[in-house]
Structure 1
Amino acid sequence: MADLITLVGALYACNIMAEQSPVSLRQAYLCVQSQEAVKLRLLSADEISDLEGLSLAERNRIKLRGYRRFKTWEAENPDLVRQIRREEKQKLLFDG
C-alpha cells in the first residue's frame, strides 16, 4: 500500500484545491479516493479483511476507526503536517 505521507499529501492537495475554487467532478472523485486510501492505510490487515461482506453502515463504522487514527496522527505530528501542507501548496502553485 502506498506510503502514508504520500497519501496524506494527496489528501492535503485536494483540500487546498477545494479551498481555492470549485473542483471538477473528476477531481472530487480523486479526492474521495485519497481520503479513503488514508483511512484504509491506518486500518490493520484484520480490520481490512473484516470489511468484506459487511453492510455499508458496518464498513463505514470500521473506516471511521481509520479516520480517527488519522486525526490522532495529525495531532501527534503537527510539524510534519505543516511541512506536508506547505509542500503540497507549493506544488500546486508552481506546477499548476
Structure 2
Amino acid sequence: MTKILAMMSLYYFCEASAAERMLPLDEAMACAQLYDSIKIAFLDEPAAPTGTPERIAQNRLGYRGFKAWEAAHPDLVATLRASARRQLGH
C-alpha cells in the first residue's frame, strides 16, 4: 500500500501541475505513464501487452478500481491533493 500511496501522491502532483500550466512533453508523458501504472495496480492480474484489446479492458477496469478507491477514501484524497498544491506553493 505504501508504494501505491507514493504513486498517488505523485499523480495528484501531476494533476495539480497540469491544472496550472501546460506540462512539457516529458513531464506529460511521465504523468501519463504514472497514471497507467496506478490503474494497473488496481488489477488482480498481470498487465496485458500495451495496445491489445485485453489491455484496453484492463485500463477501464483499473480506472474504475481507482475511482472506487478515491470514493472510499475522500479524506485521504483531499489530503494528498492539498499536499500537491502546497508543493506548488499554494
Whether the 8 Å CA contact 2:11–2:34 is kept in 1: the answer is: yes
Q: TM-score, normalised by structure 2?
A: 0.88
TM-score computed with the length of structure 1 as normaliser = 0.83
SS at match of 1:79: helix
Deviation of 1:68 after TM superposition, in Å, equals 0.4
| Stretches (4+) displaced over 3 A | none
Q: Deviations over 1:63-93 (max 9, x none)?
A: 2111100000000000000001111111222
Superposition pairs for residues 20-59 of structure 1, below 5 Å?
20-44=20-44, 47-48=45-46, 51-52=48-49, 56-59=52-55
Q: Which sections of structure 1, spanning at least 5 residues, go unmatched?
A: none
SS at match of 2:23: coil
- What are the ranges of 5 or more consecutive residues in structure 2 without an aligned counterpart? none
> Quick one: which of 67, 82, 85 aligns to 1:86?
82
Q: Does 1:74 align with 2:73?
A: no
Q: Which has the larger radius of gyration?
A: 1
Q: In angstroms, what is the RMSD of aligned CA positions?
A: 2.1
